[in-house]
Structure 1
Amino acid sequence: MGVGLYRAHPGFRTRMDEVLGLWRAHGFDLRADWLAARTGPETDGPRTAQPLLFALDWAVGRTVLDAGVRPAALLGHSVGEVAAATLAGLFDLTDSVALMADRISQLDGTPPGGMLAVQASPDEVAPYTTDEVVVGAVNAPRQVLLAGPEEGLRTAQQKLRADGFTCRRARALNPFHSPVLTEAALRALPLLASVPVRRPRLVLHSAYEPGPLTYERARDPRFWALQPARPVLFGPALDLLLAEREVVLAEAGPGQGLTVLARRHPRVARGGSRAVGLLLARPGTPEAEREAFDRALAELSDAPAEPAADATAQASRPVRAGLQAGLTRLRPGTGAPVPADSE
């Protein structure tokens, strides 16, 4: 995803080369597999999927900022929250890549597991959860993901299907966003405690603790360390973001899974706010990907960066807000959001 834009957009290519170079310095040589669009167990694993998700999120978002667009707020999803924090200025890019590389190494060797997408509410899936199999993400009122060890997740899937629920396994190879990862996640604390956290230049919303992320909270290393073991509450976070004002939501990550979720939100579906994807839902030609990016960028450029002083007179002009992808993408041929193949 994004390879066509890489070939057609010099600015994006420069930013992608920048972040891929930093990953390579930490032993993650991602370029060849990404440009060749290789898939399989190795590319689905966290050592490839998570760095590429971060790289795409950051490079697309940075290209938008380079064009002079200033978002009113940023909201990340899973790995996308670290990318959003970097774009907002909390972390330096070099530090962010080092933190993500350390996170991945700490999680290496954790028990096998995965994630299960279920078309149900958190309350409906509660009877199927255990101490280890938990709700790992709430993406919408009836779009949740269970996370946990392999055996427990398989049992939950069998019971859910027997009771008539629609569910589907992601190709995630780790039980992301479940307490099973707590011990491993906390091993990232020493490096996190040593990294400078700057006051953000942009408003950052959190999908782990829905609402604007304060500078004081962002300076707590445990907040970042525990993210792989905590649930992603993207749906509630989006509710709060859309409740503030009318916005143009722009998804900066691969696919348009978050765009689809956002368009189903009542405040978007009724026509007040809008949602656009900066990348195509599926890989396209360089020309098609450049055209789609330029079209989305033009829509963002037409929206004011900050709420107007005369809120009544300007109520019909949505401001810009950014979405950083991380967990969902489109299921080919259906347009339905499902978990991505990584986290």
Structure 2
Amino acid sequence: MSRPAPGPRPVALLLPGQGSQYARMAAGLLPSEPVFARAMDEVFTALGDRGRALRVQWLAERPEPPCDDAAFAQPLLFAVDYALGRLVLSWGIRPVALLGHSVGEVAAAVLAGVFRLEDAARLVADRVSRAARAEAGGMLAVAASAARLEPYLGDGVVIGAVNAPLAAVLAGPEIPLAKAAWRLASDGFACRRVASATAFHSPLMEPVLEGSEQLIAAAGRRAPALRVHSGYTAVPLSAEEAVSPAYWAYQPARPVLFWPALDTLLAEGDRLLLEVGPGQGLATFARRHKAVRTGRSTVAALSPARPGGAEADRQALERARDTLRAEGYGLDG
């Protein structure tokens, strides 16, 4: 379908979270993209001693702890999302909206000016330390609607994310989640474990999050300078929510409503959705939306769909640049 509106479609950034990580994600951009490299170093510096060790882990072929460990995934996802977002901003692109998934929303908050980078890095580090004390659990992606999964909930297993009409994530304690996975497979549902050793976005996280508001309350916070679509309320983040310690503190225990938030975003008008983070998980979900399927909106990603080394990183980035140029954006830098 042709698009009647003249001029380039406004850009909205999608920032992925837990489950998108892999070894050396986006590391192939270090030699050729100085803005990205500097932004990554800013995060590592903000993380202090832990940041120096994390940089070594990021560049390792087989990181230890492994990729699905929150100690690796959470801070590095935050760093890569933030650094790729900074790269897009350096091109002269001013996004009309940012939509982050899980820890991706913290990166979005920094790009939008809600948090200083140093304060957000402390928030992420605090989440990681708290997650390490949580009861053993995990997450399970299922090709089904949230409503269809109701019979499989219970014993601590809940809907952890709604990513698309037929793509939901269950989260909960390890043994009940394994039982739910067995029942789902027996009933013919396609499901797979998410790369997470923690039951994020479930009540299992609530006990370890108690007291985390104090750290956030001590940080500087302000209303977003760029519109942030909340993955927890599915509507734009209000000024009151942006400065609320409770809003940020308990995110790891709340379900991610990515699809409802995307639906709200695309109802505002035609958009060029640009995934800034490792992989193309959010771009894949977004391509299922009617606004994208009909051609009114479109999707691009800065990273390859699957890990492929430095050349794949550079090629994916160049394809994203080409998409922006074809849309009518004259890129700086």
Q: TM-score, normalised by structure 2?
A: 0.87
Residues 45 and 22 (structure 1), Cα distance of their counterparts in 2 relative to 1, 3 Å cut: same
Query: For residues 37-78 of structure 1, what are the alpha-carbon distances to aligned partners after superposition, in whole Å with 9 as ceiling and x for unaligned?
Result: 325653321111111100000000011112211001000000
Describe how 1:46-61 pairs up with structure 2 within 5 A. 46-61=70-85
Query: For residues 132-159 of structure 1, what are the alpha-carbon distances to aligned partners after superposition, in whole Å with 9 as ceiling and x for unaligned?
Result: 1000000000100100000110111111
Which residue in the other structure is 1:167 paired with? 191
The offset of 1:298, in angstroms, is 4.4
Describe how 1:1-343 pairs up with structure 2 within 5 A. 1-26=25-50, 29-39=53-63, 42-130=66-154, 132-300=156-324
The offset of 1:299, in angstroms, is 3.1
Mapped contact 1:8–1:287 kept (Cα < 8 A): no
Q: TM-score, normalised by structure 1?
A: 0.84
Residues 303 and 216 (structure 1), Cα distance of their counterparts in 2 relative to 1, 3 Å cut: farther
SS of equivalent residue, structure 1 residue 264: coil
Looking at structure 2, the residues matched to 210 and 54 of structure 1 have their Cα atoms a distance apart, in angstroms, of 21
Say which is worse superposed, 123-132 or 241-250, in terms of deviation: 123-132
The offset of 1:282, in angstroms, is 2.5
Looking at structure 2, the residues matched to 244 and 92 of structure 1 have their Cα atoms a distance apart, in angstroms, of 28
Query: For residues 149-204 of structure 1, what are the alpha-carbon distances to aligned partners after superposition, in whole Å with 9 as ceiling and x for unaligned?
Result: 00110111111122221111123111110001112123311101111111221111
The offset of 1:28, in angstroms, is 6.2
The offset of 1:297, in angstroms, is 3.0
Mapped contact 1:2–1:279 kept (Cα < 8 A): yes
Number of residue pairs the alignment of both structures matches: 305
Mapped contact 2:145–2:168 kept (Cα < 8 A): yes
Aligned residues: percent identity?
A: 50
Looking at structure 1, the residues matched to 112 and 183 of structure 2 have their Cα atoms a distance apart, in angstroms, of 42
Say which is worse superposed, 84-93 or 276-285, in terms of deviation: 276-285
Query: For residues 94-149 of structure 1, what are the alpha-carbon distances to aligned partners after superposition, in whole Å with 9 as ceiling and x for unaligned?
Result: 11001111111122221111001111111110111015100000000010010000
Query: For residues 3-53 of structure 1, what are the alpha-carbon distances to aligned partners after superposition, in whole Å with 9 as ceiling and x for unaligned?
Result: 111222122111112212222444662112211232565332111111110
The offset of 1:303, in angstroms, is 5.2
